[in-house]
Amino acid sequence: MKNYFDIKDRIAVITGGSSGLGVQIAKAFASQGVKLALFARREDKLKAVAEEIADEFGVEVMYAVTDVTDYENVEESVQKVIDKFGRIDILVNSAGVGHMKPALEQTIEEWDKHLKIDLSGVYYASRAVGKFMVEQKYGKIINLG
């Protein structure tokens, strides 16, 4: 019988992969033998998380400093994953802004930042990865909100 839940040796990209839910999802995938590509803005945190996961779970982990609000940067990071692993099987969009205020207390600039990260960032990553998933005729995209 085929095991439909076996994800060993799959390749997963996780945006927001240096903190919060992104790290926890990365660890859960790593515990199942998934190879990881972590995307986030802060290289120091990315490097530390990548090393910790690789040491703890013995899986291959790469990272790319990525600003999900910059489409060209997202495309470059995705290409690095393709160059290293040859494919992407799973995308988890977990990058996000976690400090919401009531609408009347939030500035227009804060609102625009939320939209750019939480909405455009999901679209940019999904579009960049989706092109490869269509070519390979396989892929799963998971959006967290």
Assigned domain for 135 exists: yes
Question: Are 65 and 41 spatial neighbours (Cβ–Cβ below 8 Å)?
Answer: yes
- Predicted pLDDT at 100: 74
Q: What angle do CA 68, 65, 133 make, to 5 degrees?
A: 60
What are the distances in angstroms from CA 117 to CA 41, 46, 112, 122? 12, 18, 9, 7
CA 106 to the chain's CA centroid: 27
Assigned domain for 32 exists: yes
- Predicted pLDDT at 64: 99
* pLDDT < 50 stretches in the chain: none
Count: domains in the chain: 1
Assigned domain for 6 exists: no
Residue 121 has which token pair?
């960032």
Assigned domain for 51 exists: yes
Segments in 32-70 forming alpha helices (H): 43-57
Give the predicted TM-score (pTM) of the model.
0.93
Domain carrying residue 117: 11-143
Assigned domain for 2 exists: no
Assigned domain for 106 exists: yes
- Predicted pLDDT at 129: 99
Assigned domain for 127 exists: yes
CATH number at residue 100: 3.40.50.720
Assigned domain for 3 exists: no
